[in-house]
Amino acid sequence: MRRKPKVPPAPLPQRDGIDPVRLRLPPEGPWATVRDHLVERLAAAGTDRIDAMLRDRAIVGVDGPVAADAPFVPGAFLWFHRELPAEAPVPFPVEVLHRDEQLVVVDKPHFLATTPRGRHVTETALARLRRDLGLPALSPAHRLDRLTAGLAMFVVRPELRGAYQTLFRDRLVRKEYEAVAPYRAGLELPRTVRNRIVKERGVIAAREEDGPANSESRIELLERRSTLGRYRLLPTTGRTHQLRLHMSGLGLPILGDPVYPLVLPEPAHDDFRRPLQLLARVLEFTDPLTGEPRRFESRRQLAAWSSPAGWPAG
């Protein structure tokens, strides 16, 4: 059995909280130089861009910057920072609720992605926290949708990440969410929703389909105001968009949801007027390292409930 090669540490520092890109050259190939390979492999960047990066010593190997005529070395590692498109700043703070030698727990605002993905890279909670707290090795313990506000947990040291991620994988974390959605007379609550959810890569909306259940959520009505209700959502599983899909399936689409029950035209990147009224309120678990109970609670309030006059109509 062939062992994976040991990956050396990156010789380039992070930039704006983002790690450099790492490439490994193929074990064989027809290229005489590293440049020849990169021009073919990174064709979308363009030959001029590759040449400029080599000239500026921006492509680095384990022994330092790569020269334009450096010979192709099978299996060698390279690093560089990719050019990032401009992102609309998310004009809301990330509030740090807890910080110790193992964990950072924050109150994430709506619209801010938890980790870099797609067009959201520097405007993410992870990148901000790495920069602002001076913690370049910070990593996420779990995921929280970009549109959902509330508690997000990060691990300070890489060697501890597995222990905390295992808590979420093995469903040992009690998660409590809050949502504002229409009040539906005659709907018996509380109730537990169980069904099968499928989320295809590249498709915005998840869907329910026949088959063994892979998702479970308990839905409770906390209080009612006219046509709206404030709900407590207790997921047992963690499928993508699970709570949003379960609420919509009950005829209770969460206010501000641009996907369920209908996929709406995507708003402008700097349009923050109508946040999804879903909040990760509580995280509760037994610490895998100390055995002590841990409980964190969001300080945020959902705007449609706390300030209904300011909630956008339509």
- 42: which residues sit within 8 A by CB, 6+ positions away? 49, 50
Per-domain residue ranges for the chain? 21-80, 95-310
Residue 84 is predicted with a pLDDT of 84
| Among 262, 271, 241, CA closest to 111 | 271
Q: Using omega within 30 degrees of 0 as the cis cutoff, is the peptide bond preceding 312 cis?
A: no
What fold is seen in the domain 95-310?
A: Pseudouridine synthase (3.30.2350)
Mean pLDDT for each consecutive 10-residue tract of the chain (314 residues)?
72 92 94 95 93 95 94 95 88 97 97 90 95 96 96 96 95 97 96 96 92 96 96 96 97 97 87 95 97 97 88 71
**Does residue 30 contact residue 139 with C-beta atoms inside 8 Å?**
no
Residue 117 is predicted with a pLDDT of 85
Residue 225 is predicted with a pLDDT of 94
Q: Map the chain to HEC letters.
A: CCCCCCCCCCCCCCECCECCEEEECCCCCCCCEHHHHHHHHCHHHCHHHHHHHHHCCCCEECCEECCCCCECCCCCEEEECCCCCCCCCCCCCCEEEEECCCEEEEEECCCCECCCECCECCCEHHHHHHHHHCCCCCEECCCCCCCCEEEEEEECCHHHHHHHHHHHHCCCCEEEEEEEEECCCCCCCCEEEEEEEECCCCCCCCEEECCCCCEEEEEEEEEEECCEEEEEEEECCCCCCHHHHHHHHCCCCCCCCCCCCCCCCCCCCCCCCCCCCEEEEEEEEECCCCCCEEEEECCCCCHHHHCHHHCCCC
Residue 313 is predicted with a pLDDT of 66
**Does residue 82 contact residue 21 with C-beta atoms inside 8 Å?**
yes
Residue 120 is predicted with a pLDDT of 86
pTM over 0.95: no
Residue 312 is predicted with a pLDDT of 81
